[in-house]
Chains A and B, each alone.
Chain A
């Protein structure tokens, strides 16, 4: 937490200071570059890929990497390099929309719980606990099998289930803030609930929520690619790393190049997000390792 004295000394806005701190750390600069690289690639890849991602060529089935097909071709004769370049688009789109949604609804409900307190809070937290005790994959799969696998199902499903743990975090953070003097002062001045949430609680809970959001993003990406790997995510022929690894796995003993490209791409993106989240947490003064994973 930045002290009052420190805040007065700051030259730029707080966001600029935090950003500077973030990129000055090795983990922050490496992580952020990886994330920016992947987002950029996802945006421009349809324009720069050398081959059509769904173009099948039976003459080229499982051919080795060569000058034309840099990463070889898959079991349908499609260019692995082009598919790897485009394989993150769907994942980034889905998780990029679902993460902010999850943080917003989870954060809002969490702050409300924390503010209301008492019996209501106790009962609602039991329900949250109950939801958390069910394995994520079971909750998601039941919905996906029932409603289909399109992004119009995946985004709300991911946003809903990944928002539930955020409730807990936001509630705990609210509890920390709510007993502080400035909240009492605001109450004494006669501010309404909305004003207290917006002007007193939210600015103080926001740091925690931002770090939480970054962490959720990486876990959601993991979940999404796992779903694709299991065959419940994107539908073929859309290129997706999880699905590509799952397809190429069967031919791994004689055509390992099919898995290497997507493995490196997916790992580097998730590591990038995690490094960024780590550096962001340190820049904001939040100890991330103290939080147990879901």
Chain B
């Protein structure tokens, strides 16, 4: 058991290392470097460029610089932005907090709702609650986020005037100041994630309910609801852990569009802004953070599933 745990953590670490290599190599391969961007395309003559590269230590071999960057990242020092003054960890820190806030709120609404709806649609398969729920889920899942966000702003903010349509709070404001502006983005995000998780839970409930041991319990005379709660659901909800993990990773790294629509000062908008400004050091840092979150969350989900599932647990111990 312990051996398996160590093995999984090591594999996760290897993945993060490969990611950092890809990020660094990607930026190296792309045409242009920090100096061509910093000096702009117009006034950069060869002499200035050479001076700048010397100042920024760009003449050292790439492997050296990679080691320095990766080493710094491990201790939380992400280096300086392309302007050479601002500390990246400061900019990114605020944004990461805001993204976390958004993600936590969306999960707080989305996950319980999704589990509930998933169980209901699964148990009432092919009947009214399922048909309505599953159809709505397809809509929530497939309609692009910027479309649903635009529609919700149109309805709740412009026509009804109930909720503010965009976020005006500054990036470094404390969490409490984001209410009620954060509500609409939270609603959009929880709708999308709810649909994904619900579909997963539904199909897992259906699969479990068709199992032999459920039939056995029914034949033994276990009443319906105790059977559902004691025999079916613990098994049916296990696969949900992995989907929830994927959704968390998505919430922390992929909600660029929502953040742009609502003007929310999170990690996603910082990413877009720094890509447009070609602030590659910041882009590298964000990429590394988001990728690490993805790997960690998935690792945690895998371990949780194994801990919760005796079948998997013993399977790995025997190996």
Contacts and interface: CB of A to CB of B under 8 A. Distances in A.
Interface residues of B, number: 55
A131 interface: yes
A165 B81 CA distance: 32
A292 B294 contact: no
Nearest to B286: A138
A249 to B, nearest CB: 6
Interface stretch (B59-67, B106-114, B150-158, B217-225): B150-158
A136 interface: yes
A256 B287 contact: no
B257 A138 contact: no
Nearest to B242: A292
Contacts of B257: 137, 226, 229-230
Q: How large is the interface on A (under 10, 10 to 19, 20 to 34, 35 or more residues)?
A: 35 or more
A9 interface: no
A289 B145 CA distance: 20
B178 interface: no
Contact of B283 (A138, A249, A289): A138
Interface in B213-271: 242-243, 246, 249-250, 253-254, 256-257, 260-261, 268, 271
Interface string B267-311: 010011001101000010011001100110000000000000000
B147 interface: yes
A292 B305 CA distance: 16
Interface string A242-261: 10011001001100100100
A242 B149 CA distance: 13
B144 interface: yes
Contacts of A245: 146-147, 150
A136 B254 contact: yes
Interface string B192-228: 0000100110111000000000000000000000000
Given A245-B146, A271-B143, A130 B138 contact: no
Interface in A72-103: none
A146 interface: yes
Contacts of B249: 133
B11 interface: yes
Contact of B253 (A126, A135, A275): A135
B147 A267 contact: yes
Contacts of A230: 256-257, 260, 272
Interface string A123-162: 0001101111111111001100110000000000000000
B22 interface: yes
Contacts of A289: 199-200, 202-203
B146 A226 contact: yes
A263 B14 contact: no
A135 B295 CA distance: 12
Nearest to A140: B275
Given A252-B153, A256-B154, A289-B202, A130 B276 contact: no
Contacts of A249: 150, 261
Given A138-B287, A289-B202, A266 B144 contact: yes
A252 B291 contact: no
A222 B144 contact: yes
A5 B22 CA distance: 50
A142 B30 contact: yes
Contacts of B261: 249
Main secondary structure of the interface of B (DSSP, over half): helix
Interface string B117-153: 0000000000000000000001101111111001101
A263 B253 contact: no
A130 B15 CA distance: 6
B26 interface: yes
A224 B61 CA distance: 37
Contacts of A256: 154, 158
A134 B290 contact: yes
Contacts, number: 136
B242 A259 contact: no
Contacts of B294: 132-134
Contacts of A242: 144, 146
A225 interface: yes
A293 B144 CA distance: 14
Contact of A130 (B22, B139, B154, B283): B22
A274 interface: yes
Contact of B144 (A225, A252, A253, A273): A225
B276 to A, nearest CB: 7
B19 interface: yes
B4 interface: no
A126 B11 CA distance: 8
Contact of B256 (A126, A137, A145, A270): A137
A266 B142 CA distance: 10
Q: Which residue, B146, B151, B249, B278, has most C-beta atoms of chain A within 10 A? A: B146
Contacts of A135: 253-254, 256, 271, 287, 290
B146 A293 contact: no
A198 B275 CA distance: 43
Contacts of B242: 292
Given A130-B19, A230-B260, A290-B203, A252 B142 contact: no
B143 A270 contact: yes
B312 interface: no
A218 interface: yes
B139 A271 contact: yes
In the A-B complex, the 3 residue pairs with the smallest Cβ-Cβ separation, listed nearest first, are A130-B18, A133-B294, A289-B203
16 contacts: A133-B249, A134-B22, A135-B256, A136-B254, A137-B271, A138-B287, A226-B145, A230-B260, A242-B146, A245-B150, A263-B150, A267-B143, A270-B142, A273-B142, A275-B138, A293-B250
